[in-house]
Structure 1
Amino acid sequence: MHIEKNILDNVNIWLTPTFDEKTQTEIKEMMTSSPKELEESFYKNLEFGTGGMRGVMGVGTNRINKYTLGKNTQGISDYMKTAFPGEELKVVIAYDCRHNSDTLAKVVADVFSANGIKVYLFSELRPTPELSFALKYLNCHAGIVLTASHNPPEYNGYKVYWQDGGQLVPPQDGEIIQVIEALTYDQINFKANENLIEYIDAKIDEAFVKSTIENASFDTPAEAKDNLNIVYTSLHGTSIKSIPDVLSKAGYSNVNIVPEQAIPDGNFPTVKSPNPEEPEALTMALALAEKLNADIVVGTDPDADRLGVAVRDNDGKMVLLNGNQTMVLMTAFLLEQWKKAGKITGTEFIGSTIVSTPMMLELASAYGIECKVGLTGFKWIAKMIKDFPNQKFIGGGEESFGFMVGDAVRDKDAVGATLLICEIAAQAKANGSSLYKELQNLYVDHGFYKEYLISLTKKGIEGANEIKQMMIDLREKPLKEINGQRVIMVEDYDNSTARNLFTDEIEELKIPKSNVLIYYLEDGTKICARPSGTEPKIKFYFSVNEPLDSIENAKEVENNLDQKIKNIIAEMQLQ
């Protein structure tokens, strides 16, 4: 097959003595046996997306390996020296259960130390939220976690956190990328200064657990905790290092761990995908819940920043909640707790994203506070905390099963969120209610909101081009009517415009640019199209709503909303 000259130029660079013999051998083998794989490995550089850098492990510029991560780390080292002149620079590094995470973490530590930067390196795998906590606890300038979140086993990734404990955001991200791109591979300093690398574990663990319990506990009686029957699974990931300890020390004694999934394993042998967004991932936990007649199931992804929750419905059947539903439940509970404590003054805020449920705006309005809405990715919610120091952050979430309680951790945190959802469930059960009934009560008070997500996977170069064309078509040929409802507004975050299709008036969007389109229909329906920043997918988000006058009518209203979503998907020819 024909390979473009720019790809061959990249390949030839990697065949120079700057790269080790093993790497060069692998490339030569690919040249003869797998030219297609060679092309995929070198046709571009891996880029920072909504969750940092994430990709398939292997040799090449478009892969996760010691050289691509080494180059990132060298660039960040150089940037830190200019950003914090004269300071004793410190970073903290964590990693998850994935293949090569421990060795890649050591490579990253080596490069930082080679550049004279003090490194705190976790001695074993740890949850991503603990990395965010540790960064602030140790007064570091930056933090790195080696993780590919819930991606398949062949992936790994590199998330960068800054001084506030949140992920990298503008302007630092763009400035750092410029520094990285200006480097050549022979400028990476891999010669570790072991004297600058300090291994950390128990002391940070204890502080993280203590902070989590302080932030996510709300005076639940001991008897209510004892009566809550919990099934928990770590899905072979890192939360096993924290969640059992947190729940135990918070007073929850009836915690049943799925034993087959309790051992960290980068192969994720018992699931197709270690993603709690996928119902299949919680199959074993749900089976155990039925066996033990559990009240609640909680499952977390490999790096413990997302959680999936299942609860019993009004008929006693276990049902999975989506990320919008868990976010609404946790936010409403926090707001009510703050109100009871007399802590709401009107200067507080909650955080959400442009693709999440509009019900968050209704909750904020009901409690007289602000709901700040940012781009997809928890780094934008963390940035809100940094940008508005005079406003107190209560909590916030996004539709992709992430939530953050308070500001001790500056990223989505399945450890704190697990304790919080157990607090809500325990109190509801003690009061003769349930999580499911509490959610229905919220729908009666604020309207029944139903969301749905479709992800279309388009791999490789051809897939990237197909996704690009789909977004072009949606922009250049905007839909005027969907399911019998007129489109009243189109928000295009790529050019920062909101266009009213009735009046043709255009307003400027104040949120940073992003490749996202949102359609608003006259009946309150919201449809969003967005290419993923970390996976070869284009995602379509649907939100519909109707008033609900009583819980008795919830099923009928939900059926209406489900049918509306099906009609929209069929009309847009997405399935």
Structure 2
Amino acid sequence: MQVTDSDISQKVSEWLTPIFDTETQQHIKNLQKNAPEDLKESFYKDLEFGTGGMRGVMGVGTNRINKYTLGKSTQGLSNYLLKQFEGEQPKAVIAYDCRNNSDTLAQIVANVFSANGIKVYLFSSLRPTPELSFAVKELGCHCGIVLTASHNPPEYNGYKVYWQDGGQLVPPQDAEIIAEINALQYADINFEAQSDLIEKIDTAIDETFINQSAQNGSIAATQEAKDDLTIVFTSLHGTSITAVPETLKRAGFKNVHIVEEQAEPDGNFPTVKSPNPEEPEALTMAMDLAKKVNADIVIGTDPDCDRLGIAVRNTDGDLQLLNGNQTMVVMTWFLLEQYAKEKTFKGNEFIASTIVSTPMMRSIANGFGVEYLEVLTGFKWIAKLIKDFPEKHFIGGGEESFGFMVGDFVRDKDAVTSTLLACEIAAYTKANGSSFYATLLELYTKYGFYKENLVSLVKKGIEGAQEIKQTMIDLRNTPPQHLNNEKVVLIEDYQSSVAKNLQDHTETIIDIPKSNVLIFYTEGGSKIAARPSGTEPKIKFYISVQGSLDSVADFDTAQQQLDSKIEAIKKDLQLT
């Protein structure tokens, strides 16, 4: 539905009524006078829950993160909790990261919960997102909230909702809660806190969380192997500084060098263009320090500590950044290998990943005879698998966007335990005459050589949103018939839940919740997925190609061949 100037004016008029405080009204008046385009961007739509909750630019308006948009969401969530848990005392736990205004916004959310008679546990200072997931279950809460915008730029903040199992909202709760929120007016928000219902929490949860992280991430390396590993770690001004160094210490790693210039939490992220470990530039300072101290491994985490980027020594001894798929397959293989060595498989184990991640995960699962389950993008879907199949045992899994989860004591991607696991693998393989990187190459020879490439096209604002929408429409209406001179043989449309086989012209139903994702498969085994981001103004293309690697010595040649395939596909899709 097209938003008109009249629609926007009506929203603006509402925000200039006494329902909203004078500071908000004055800010809107300033935008009317000095920045009408910014005013339009602030009101042309309402913020929505995406794959990672509600995330947006901070400011006034319905399309911004502020006390009213968060207050309305919290009021709707409060109404839902009171209906669903009638006769109980609903409980919520709230955490926040290093973002500007996160502490203030967290207090506002706590106030609204308490105003509605809901018991609130509020962390006294910033904490990692995985600790919030852990705390929901540890404290027996009905829901949890974390104020974070993950790795987005400094002007962003966000609001992620977790349910009783410690996982993010999934169907049917997500739609039901959104319906409650949409039924409200801003005048319905109760901001009058009942302070006796708000309890600050601190070190007790920290201790339990860090101990369990150290226990779950310590797999096979001896103390001697750990003593021989040199680690460089950067928190990129985020929350991981509160948990990762201590977790590594308790697990026995002593040679940990922290990038001190990035150790202080700071929502402006002054030393990086983007606090995203997916971006090579974000780890520049860590890489420089690693060269000085001759580190074996470099790890950086995003601001809320759920993603991690890794660099390890390659076969030439140089530090090389790995992508999320590469890190994921090594971690998953290592967990499965240790299970196999200890003969602890019971036949109910599974690993999981997402539809846009590397197909190599399925190959590894098949190699161990373990079940592989695939879900939509977002760790909430992996957490849902754990909840839906209590008879199954989750070993580990991840997604291409630099997230991984070890076991199920946390029900979201967890850079605390995953950082420890990465160091554990590096120490173990080094002690056994190999390395993290050499292990990756060996896996390519055993399970197939898969290589991935991500193309993210940023499309900001109203026009950008329309461009993204039109791109997906065009791909559906006129899908590519050939990519890299290979026939497209299968198209999966997760919005219509239909997979079309272009060879025998049959159709099958996709038994996964609907999502705006298209995946094209070629006769040569390439896989290309397209999807709009749920949390950023981007459309993403995930390209996966495969080949064989007979010997590690042939790696460079085989890699060049796969790179050529990727470039040809990008050219065919006009992504270059």
- Same fold per superposition (TM over 0.5): yes
SS in 1 for 2:277: coil
User: How far, CA to CA, are the matches of 2:344 and 2:366 in structure 1?
Assistant: 16
Q: Go from structure 1 to structure 2 and tell me whether the alpha carbon gap of 1:573 and 1:211 turns closer, same or farther (over 3 Å shift).
A: same
CA drift at 1:314: 0.3
CA drift at 1:219: 3.5
CA drift at 1:567: 1.2
Task: Report Cα offsets for 1:95-145 as digits up to 9, x if no partner.
Answer: 000000000000000000011111000000000000000110000000000
Residues 1:17 and 2:18 are matched in the alignment: yes
CA drift at 1:337: 1.0
Task: Report Cα offsets for 1:269-307 as digits up to 9, x if no partner.
Answer: 000000000000000000011111100000000000000
In the alignment, which residue of structure 2 is the partner of 1:132? Answer: 133
Q: CA RMSD in A?
A: 0.8
CA drift at 1:224: 0.5
Task: Report Cα offsets for 1:427-452 as digits up to 9, x if no partner.
Answer: 00001111000001110110111000
- Please tell me whether the aligned partners of residues 215 and 251 of structure 2 are also in contact (alpha carbons under 8 angstroms): no
User: How far, CA to CA, are the matches of 1:67 and 1:431 in structure 2?
Assistant: 57
Quick one: which amino acid aligns to residue 393 of structure 2? Answer: K
SS in 1 for 2:309: strand
SS in 1 for 2:466: helix
Quick one: which amino acid aligns to residue 73 of structure 1? Answer: T
CA drift at 1:57: 0.1
In the alignment, which residue of structure 2 is the partner of 1:91? Answer: 92
Residues 1:279 and 2:301 are matched in the alignment: no
In the alignment, which residue of structure 2 is the partner of 1:329? Answer: 330
Quick one: which amino acid aligns to residue 90 of structure 1? Answer: K
Quick one: which amino acid aligns to residue 127 of structure 2? Answer: R
Q: Which segments of 5 or more consecutive residues in structure 1 lack a partner in the other structure?
A: none
Map of 1:467-482 to 2, 5 A cutoff? 467-482=468-483
Map of 1:404-419 to 2, 5 A cutoff? 404-419=405-420
Residues 1:350 and 2:369 are matched in the alignment: no
- Please tell me whether the aligned partners of residues 213 and 417 of structure 2 are also in contact (alpha carbons under 8 angstroms): yes
CA drift at 1:346: 2.3
SS in 1 for 2:200: strand
- Please tell me whether the aligned partners of residues 54 and 157 of structure 1 are also in contact (alpha carbons under 8 angstroms): yes
User: How far, CA to CA, are the matches of 2:340 and 2:120 in structure 1?
Assistant: 42
In the alignment, which residue of structure 2 is the partner of 1:78? Answer: 79
In the alignment, which residue of structure 2 is the partner of 1:255? Answer: 256
User: How far, CA to CA, are the matches of 1:178 and 1:498 in structure 2?
Assistant: 30
User: How far, CA to CA, are the matches of 2:78 and 2:539 in structure 1?
Assistant: 34
Quick one: which amino acid aligns to residue 201 of structure 1? Answer: D
Map of 1:500-519 to 2, 5 A cutoff? 500-519=501-520
CA drift at 1:72: 0.3
- Please tell me whether the aligned partners of residues 142 and 163 of structure 1 are also in contact (alpha carbons under 8 angstroms): yes
SS in 2 for 1:470: helix
User: How far, CA to CA, are the matches of 2:219 and 2:309 in structure 1?
Assistant: 21
User: How far, CA to CA, are the matches of 2:85 and 2:370 in structure 1?
Assistant: 36
In the alignment, which residue of structure 2 is the partner of 1:526? Answer: 527
SS in 1 for 2:508: strand
In the alignment, which residue of structure 2 is the partner of 1:295? Answer: 296
- Please tell me whether the aligned partners of residues 220 and 428 of structure 2 are also in contact (alpha carbons under 8 angstroms): no
User: How far, CA to CA, are the matches of 1:249 and 1:66 in structure 2?
Assistant: 39
Map of 1:359-508 to 2, 5 A cutoff? 359-508=360-509
User: How far, CA to CA, are the matches of 2:358 and 2:221 in structure 1?
Assistant: 28
User: How far, CA to CA, are the matches of 2:369 and 2:30 in structure 1?
Assistant: 64
User: How far, CA to CA, are the matches of 1:125 and 1:63 in structure 2?
Assistant: 22
In the alignment, which residue of structure 2 is the partner of 1:176? Answer: 177
Quick one: which amino acid aligns to residue 180 of structure 2? Answer: V
Quick one: which amino acid aligns to residue 420 of structure 1? Answer: L
In the alignment, which residue of structure 1 is the partner of 2:247? Answer: 246
Task: Report Cα offsets for 1:199-221 as digits up to 9, x if no partner.
Answer: 11100000000111111111321
User: How far, CA to CA, are the matches of 2:224 and 2:337 in structure 1?
Assistant: 22
SS in 1 for 2:421: helix
CA drift at 1:3: 6.6
In the alignment, which residue of structure 1 is the partner of 2:223? Answer: 222
Runs of 4+ in 1 over 6 A off after TM superposition: none
User: How far, CA to CA, are the matches of 1:347 and 1:480 in structure 2?
Assistant: 40
- Please tell me whether the aligned partners of residues 47 and 54 of structure 2 are also in contact (alpha carbons under 8 angstroms): yes
- Please tell me whether the aligned partners of residues 15 and 25 of structure 2 are also in contact (alpha carbons under 8 angstroms): yes
- Please tell me whether the aligned partners of residues 3 and 39 of structure 1 are also in contact (alpha carbons under 8 angstroms): no
Quick one: which amino acid aligns to residue 127 of structure 1? Answer: P
User: How far, CA to CA, are the matches of 1:103 and 1:358 in structure 2?
Assistant: 43
Task: Report Cα offsets for 1:217-241 as digits up to 9, x if no partner.
Answer: 1132111001000000000000000
User: How far, CA to CA, are the matches of 2:358 and 2:270 in structure 1?
Assistant: 33
Quick one: which amino acid aligns to residue 168 of structure 1? Answer: L
User: How far, CA to CA, are the matches of 2:374 and 2:360 in structure 1?
Assistant: 12
CA drift at 1:345: 2.4
